[in-house]
Structures are given as structure tokens and as C-alpha cells.
Chains A and B, each alone.
Chain A
């Protein structure tokens, strides 16, 4: 009995001393953390995706407060988060246009002929490494869906042999851009709907031979544009998004219908959000 009592007392006293010591040092050596850092961290989405280029949301918050990163550096949070952080940091968030990934290929199974059957690792990168082209077009979407696998938001899916991005789900993390072995995917401003949906740089006749939906480099679109917003890059049309007013004249004239009109969301991709919420 005596031993139990002594043990209890001694351990309790040690515990109290240690606890008091912790409280004391906690008060005495309190390091004021920048309040803004905690506030900024609160605004960030907190899924630590690393799309900003920092190790996680904590690191990003520290970088924003130290002025290393811009207030609109979080591609996931987009403009609302940037505005909130801008309020905390006391700087105006430069209005950051939300970007979405866009696959620059229209070569569906119908438009572009398949080159036989591919039996191998079901991954575009592996196939590209082996020098295999699944379709006649050397530039087009291979349709094996590496971007689909890599997308953390499940925003990409294959529709008729071509990857299609659902702009509603896309957070512009850029993973698919890095993954696509053909370099077909780019981040474009969401509000700019007039986009050239082809990457084939070959001359017209060659393009026509392999794909019925490819840019043949006729430059009709450049002549239609009154705003100097579409140019030829070799034999491939290219939209300068800053100048584009989305009048859609170029798209109307395009003989290959390779320029998207101001409403490009395909029905198949548009119904996606419901599925995502279920999952």
C-alpha cells in the first residue's frame, strides 16, 4: 500500500512539474506565427495537390505570405480563392482567368482511320515510346487514355477514341499536359471558346489523306478575322486568345470544321458532373 502511494505521489509530482514546464516554455518561447499565414492557409483548398509547385498548401501559404508566390498562385482555387487571399494580403488579386485543359484533336474513330489493332500496354506513353501510332495521323490523340488515368479530378474521358476534357471538373493542374506524349493538351482560358482543335503541322493534302477533321492550313480563318486574333503557324492555325472576341466567323468559314464554336462542350462530357458527385 505504501509503495503504491509513494509511486502515485512521485509520478504525479513529476507529471505536474513536466506539465508546468511545458506550459511555461510554451508561454515564454512563444513564436508569433504570421497571422496572415494561417488565414491564407484557411482559404486554400487543402488537398495538397502540389499543382502550384510547392510541397503542399502549408508551404504555399508560407510562400504567399513571404511574397514568393503570387496571391493567385493556386490553380485549383481559382479566382474566388485568389480574391480572398488578395484581401488578406492587402493586394488586389490580378483577375486570374480560370483555365481549363483542352485536347487539340478532333480525330475520332470516324474522322481518322485506325492503323490495325493495338495489343500492348494500354497507355499512350508506352505506345509512343515504342514508336507506335494507333491512327494514321502522327499528331493526333492516341486514344489509350493516359490523361484519363492521370487526371485527379476524373475530368477527362475518351469519347469516340479521342480524349475530351470536361471544363466544369477541370482544375487546370496541368498533369495531363505533362502526360500526353503527343503534347496535344494545353491550358486555355475557360471563357475563350474559339479554339483550334488540331495539332497536325503537315501540309493540307497530307492532312486530308489521314483525317477528315484536321487543319489543312488553308488560312481562310485568318482572312475572316477582323481582330488579328488568328494566325498561321506553319500550316496550322493558331488563336491568340487575348485578341479573340469570339465572333465565331473563323469557325463558320473553316472547311474542316476544326475551329470550335462558342459552345464546345460535347453532350457526353456535359453530363459528367452528376456521375462525379455520385463517385
Chain B
């Protein structure tokens, strides 16, 4: 992530991250679950309501048709009735008799209003009752429809007087009176109110709220409803609508199906609205949703409780491993990590333990090596292995040898001799190492040191000479110590030569020594021999080659040429008195 990218809060502790991860995953999964279920519930509820509404509108149509069909059947019985025909045997039916007859039929058929019309629609008589004579107009309109209908019947909806809020919607039916069929001598008109009882009946059957509307195209008012007046008024059908939609009434969603009441004989617009509250439909689903919500919270809590334990279970051994690593880094390989686990972390701990064993083994080898060879040689051996071979290189060889030590040692116990010698070697060897040289070997009471191998260094001549000067000081300090101990003092001579020699591991494949081979080694040894000669009376003698290789400034005395054993040519000898 770039620094300009989204910055997420960084949690250093693994446990915290794991906790957050698990809780987040659980939260996302559960929330998605909840949202999906909620959405699906709502969709299903709307689907169910839609289906109910479709069934409801069918039911309404069937109910209205069935009611009218039944009435139509009864009216047919009436129209074929002998007594009705009797009325028409007179030139003009007697109005009072017609009224009485219709009243009788009204009761027999269970309708609130009946009218008898001539074939041309003119009034013969009616039952009166709730409808005034003006209510006949829609029947007359229906007669015109019935005249041309195959079954000589017509039906429709009408809003009948009185005008105003007390006016009602009616189902109208017109059937013929035959004398005999197909001769129509009169029409019977019937009106069935679409009243509250009918709305309640529909509601009981369809389990839907039922509202009937009537009004102009733009403004429709509820005339009957199973809903509260206000709700019914708020969900009045929109202009010229026929379909299903969700209407928001007082914050509650009602899925509503509108269906126009057709044919409508009187002017205006009439419609039935079937409704169901979405909330009511969702009641059973809400329980599931509440349960899911509880489940969501419970899983979050469970995740929050379990995750830290799990994280701790993981991070604790990791921290132990980290601590163990630090212990190993400090070089302590003795401590073993103890984790009783079979998983990857357990495998890691086992691998760590093996590693520390391996490291301990290597250290032991290294330690031994260090004590037997110089650290540089040991490092090279560790690095390159014990390969035989060598390389030619310029080095400075230093020989230091105790004078008269054999004679001195004769007056001491062997153990004392070894102790003293080791004490002396310890000081001198330390100085060699300080100046980046290596102790090539101890030859009796002599030390052979090499500067410039196995690690190549530019100032090997200076290092050798400085080491020699330092050795002199160290010897003085050692002698002071010896004097306080009441012992005889020591003296030595140092020969230094710089030369190209062969450096490498010398020996058999079973036993090797890192050393140098070449004439230059002998020259250094001979120079050391020369320090004993009185004509030189010097502790540090160097060759001309060393003098040339030196870069620092020293107090050097030219002692002239001196013959050396094993060489035909005399060697130029210089004494180093000290550093400037």
C-alpha cells in the first residue's frame, strides 16, 4: 500500500488483528444474512399480497356476478310467473296492484328495490323504498343495452340518488318479462346495494381490506370501506388507474389493487380497491428477522469471546519463539523451547531447537578451532572448509624468541615453566591479534606470526612493526610484574621480514595447518637470531623489504649488511627503536 493510499489503522498485536478479523467476518456474514432475509421476506410478502389481490379481484367479480346471476334466475322465475302476466291482461296495469305485486316480489327476492318498465323503458311501477323515481334513469339506460343483448339482460354499476354522501353504489340488473318468449312485454329492474355488509363479506372471504370509490375522474371518495375513513380517503385511486401498487398511508404501506367498476351506468368513475397492510403480512417474517438479529448479536459476542482465546493460543507460542530467538542471538543455546503442540507452531519450535543445537555444535567447533588456530584462519576454515592449496601473496613475518629461556627454565619446575610461558604467550598473542596478525605457530618459546594472511591487508609491514614495539612495552610490563613476584626478568628478540610467500593449508587431508612457505620466512627467523649478536644490540630487527613496505614513520637505525646463515648475499639489517 502506498503512503497516499487508504490508511487502515495498524494494530501491532496479532491477537487484536485476529479478533477484529473474526468479528468483522462474522459481522459481515450475519449482516448480509439479515439483510438478504429481510429483503426476501418483503419481496415474498408483496408477492403473496399481489397474488391475494389478484384472487381478491377475481373473487369480487365472481361474487358480484354470482349475486346478479342468482337474482337474474329469481327474476326469470318471476317474469314467467302467471300472476305477473295477469297484470298485462288489462289495457293499463293498475298502479296500486303493480306496486303491491312488486313489493311482494321484492321480499321474495331479497332486494331493496325493483322497478317495472315498458319495453320502451317507460315506467310501469316500482317499489319505491330507498330510491326515488329519478333512480329509474340508469335502468332505462340498461334496457337499451338489454334490447340488443343475446340473452336480453343487462347489468352494471350505478351511483343512485340521493346525491351526496348518502348516495350509494348499486349493482343493477335488467331482465325481460316474456309473454311468451321471445316476446318482451316489460322489463324488471333490480338494484343491489354495494354496501358495508357486502364490503365486509368480501373482506371475510379474501382477507383483504375492501373500499369502494366513486367520484369524478380526478377526485374519488370512498363510499364504503372496511378501513378507517381517513385511510380509505388517503388511498383513493390515482387518475385512471387499474393495477397493483404500494400506497403509503400514515407511514404504513398498503399493497393496493384497483379495479374499475364496469360498466358504470351513471356518469363519473367508480372503483374497488383491495388492500393489505404490508406490516400485517410481514408479522410472521418479523419474528424470524428478530431471531436473526439476536443470532447476529450472539455470534458477534461469541466471536469476540472466542477470537482472543484463539489469538492468544497462537500468539503466546509465537512470543515464546521470539524470546527464544533473542536468547539464541545472545549465544545461549542451552535453553530448549518446550511447546507441546503438533501443529505448525510445534514444528517451528522443534526446528528452532534443532537450530540452536546446530548452532551450539558449530560454536563448539569454532571455539576449538579458535584455540588451535588464529581467529582469522579459523574464520577462513569455517568459510572455505579445509581445502588444500595456497596463494602467493606479500606478507610480513614476525619471529619473536625468548633469550636464555632454556637456561632459565632449568631452575624452575616444569609446571611453573609452562605457566610462565603461557602467561608470556598470552600477552604476545593478544598483541598480534590486536594488529590483525595471526599466530602461525609456537615453536618452543618462540612465536611465529604472520601479517597480511589469510586476510589480505595493505599495512601488514606497519602492523608487524607496531606489534613488535607494543610487544616490547608488554614485555617491560610483564617484567615489572615478574620483578614484584621475585622472578627473573625475560628478554626477547624480534625479527621481521616482508616477502612474497605461499600461504595456505599445508599438510595431509587428515591434518592441516594454515601456514606460509617461502625463503622470506627464513630471513625473518635469521633476523631474530641476529638480535642476540652484540654488534647489533637491538631487540627489533627488520629487513630492507619491510622498511620499504612501511608507510608510518619510525625511529629506524641502519645497521648495515650482515651475513646470514643459508644465504650467500649479506642482508641489510635495520633496527626499529620505536614509533615517531
Do chains A and B stick together as partners? no
* Residue positions of A touching B, CB distance < 8 A: none
Residues of B at under 8 Å CB distance from A? none
